[in-house]
Amino acid sequence: MRHRTALASIALAATVALTACGTSQSAVAGLPNIVVWTTYGTGTSTYADLASVANAVTSNDGANIRIVTSDTAIGRMIPLREDKAHMARTGDEYMFAFEAEHEFASEDWGPQDVQVVWTPVAPHGLLVRDDSGIDSFADLRGKNFPRITANPSVNGKLTAYLAYGGLTWADVNPVDIGYGDQAAALQAGQLDVLFQQVYGSSLYELESAFAVRWLSMDDRSPERIDEVQRIAPSVEIDEFSGAPGQQDGETDWGMVYTVPVVTYADADQRMVAETINAIHRNYRSYRDATATTEDWSFERIQKAPKTVPFHPALVRFLRERGEWTAEAEERNRELTERGEQLRAGWQRFIAQTEPADIAREWPKWKERNLPAN
């Protein structure tokens, strides 16, 4: 389901001035004259990575790439749905859009026919002041803990972090805040802890102001890891190093998951294929641009779908390089069929459900009619 609303279009136009995605061609065969990507705000490493890739493709290939930012899940997806953007680098909202979960379980959205285009992974963690007295996850009890505005992806990870420490939201003092405002809030004492991709530029600025450190997920007992992955199934626990607050050679353990580039299934096939090729062939030019652009390499990306199908162009790219397995093909087929069932079922569901009941009843409908994903 990919449709427009006047309200969304007006809001988008009032927020960013963009040329609508057109068909005139750039110097790069297959790409439009102006290419638009969306992602997180400028103080995040997610933005820094994408900007580095865009700069390399622009400088080397002559493409004209613009990046539109938003701190909210809906804000990153609306330009894509409204044909104001070609690609989005998102948090878990690509999964929520596919399944119609959280904000996407609404009359205005429903299941979206999104597909994955490129799958760089990135480490994330909880950062505290060194003198905070917060030495374990259990010490978060009673602390000012971020609850990110309009960002169910991050809030799901935060829920998983609390569960890892044997806590719930009732055990902390939730502070509603924008994702990009956390660093300033930690510095001002409004937050006791923040959650970010560990190499965000705002975190290096914090480190220059006062000592910081990471809450490391050192206890990897099965019960703790199982609880994290039950709440946040896209997450794995792994080591990271070289982040703010870490000494040379020091490592901590945090959440690692893909922060993918996605698009809609009906996007121009040649454009998607050329985007993949441009990201791949320009890798050496942006590899060292940030602490995490190295993870954009073909060798490091996630090569099998988990919760949302891969775009046919990515499947073809992987197959041509001998990296597309029979298991990946079967999972991609299952997810593609699931998407078709979700979108067809939504039409029947929405016809007989009051708007106020959609968010409550849609998960029940899925449980009755579809296997767990």
Q: Give me the mean pLDDT over the 142-164 stretch.
A: 96
pLDDT tens sequence across 208-217 = 999 999 999 9
Q: Give me the mean pLDDT over the 246-251 stretch.
A: 96
What is the C-alpha radius of gyration for the chain, rounded to an integer number of angstroms?
20
Q: Please report the pLDDT score of residue 2 as a whole number.
A: 55
**Which has the higher per-residue pLDDT, 352 or 3?**
352
- Fold classification of 122-257 (topology level): D-Maltodextrin-Binding Protein; domain 2 (3.40.190)
User: What are the two backbone dihedrals, phi and then psi, of residue 25, each rounded to the nearest 5 degrees?
Assistant: -95, 150
Residue 219: which residues within 8 A CB-CB, separation 6 or more?
A: none
Q: Give me the mean pLDDT over the 109-125 stretch.
A: 97
Q: Please report the pLDDT score of residue 29 as a whole number.
A: 83
Report whether pLDDT(3) > 60.
Answer: no
DSSP codes of every residue in 300-363: TS--S-SSSPBPHHHHHHHHHTT---HHHHHHHHHHHHHHHHHHHHHHHHHHTS-GGGHHHHHH
Q: Please report the pLDDT score of residue 301 as a whole number.
A: 97
Q: Do domains 6-120+259-369 and 122-257 have the same CATH topology?
A: yes
Distance CA(273)–CA(170), nearest Å, equals 47
User: What are the two backbone dihedrals, phi and then psi, of residue 80, each rounded to the nearest 5 degrees?
Assistant: -65, -45
Q: Give me the mean pLDDT over the 129-134 stretch.
A: 98
Model confidence pTM above 0.75:
yes
Report whether pLDDT(242) > 50.
Answer: yes
Q: Give me the mean pLDDT over the 304-314 stretch.
A: 97
Distance CA(116)–CA(148), nearest Å, equals 24
Q: Give me the mean pLDDT over the 162-180 stretch.
A: 97
Q: Give me the mean pLDDT over the 188-192 stretch.
A: 99
Residue 300: count of CB within 10 angstroms of its CB: 12
Q: Please report the pLDDT score of residue 200 as a whole number.
A: 87
Q: Please report the pLDDT score of residue 44 as a whole number.
A: 87
Total residues belonging to the chain: 373
Q: Please report the pLDDT score of residue 192 as a whole number.
A: 99
Burial tier of 6 (Cβ tally within 10 Å: 0-12, 13-18, 19+): exposed
Characterize the bridge pairing of strands 173-177 and 144-148. parallel
Burial tier of 356 (Cβ tally within 10 Å: 0-12, 13-18, 19+): exposed
Q: Which pair of tokens denotes residue 226?
A: 């199982």
Q: Which pair of tokens denotes residue 239?
A: 């080591």
- Residue 289 per-residue DSSP state: S
Domains of the chain: which residue ranges? Answer: 6-120+259-369, 122-257
Residue 345 in contact with residue 299, Cβ under 8 Å?
Answer: no
Rounded to the nearest angstrom, the gap between the alpha carbon of residue 369 and the centroid of all alpha carbons in its chain is 28
pLDDT tens sequence across 9-52 = 333 333 333 444 544 455 688 999 999 999 999 988 899 999 99
Question: CA angle at residue 123 from 138 to 94, to 5 degrees?
Answer: 105
The answer to whether the Cα torsion of 314, 319, 320, 321 is positive or negative is positive
Distance CA(238)–CA(336), nearest Å, equals 29
The structural architecture, per CATH, of the domain 6-120+259-369 is: 3-Layer(aba) Sandwich (3.40)
Distance CA(189)–CA(203), nearest Å, equals 15
Question: What's the half-sphere exposure (Cβ side, CA atoms, 13 Å) at 154?
Answer: 25
Question: What average pLDDT does the chain have?
Answer: 92
Report the percentage of the chain scoring pLDDT > 90.
88
pLDDT tens sequence across 254-280 = 999 999 999 999 999 999 999 999 999
pLDDT tens sequence across 193-204 = 999 999 988 999
Q: Give me the mean pLDDT over the 218-245 stretch.
A: 94
Question: What's the half-sphere exposure (Cβ side, CA atoms, 13 Å) at 116?
Answer: 27
Q: Give me the mean pLDDT over the 60-69 stretch.
A: 97
DSSP codes of every residue in 185-209: HHHHTS-S-EEEETT-HHHHHHHHH
Q: Please report the pLDDT score of residue 8 as a whole number.
A: 37
Q: Give me the mean pLDDT over the 358-365 stretch.
A: 98
Q: How confident is the model at residue 372 (pLDDT cuts 50, 70, 90)?
A: confident
Report whether pLDDT(356) > 70.
Answer: yes
Report the percentage of the chain scoring pLDDT > 70.
93
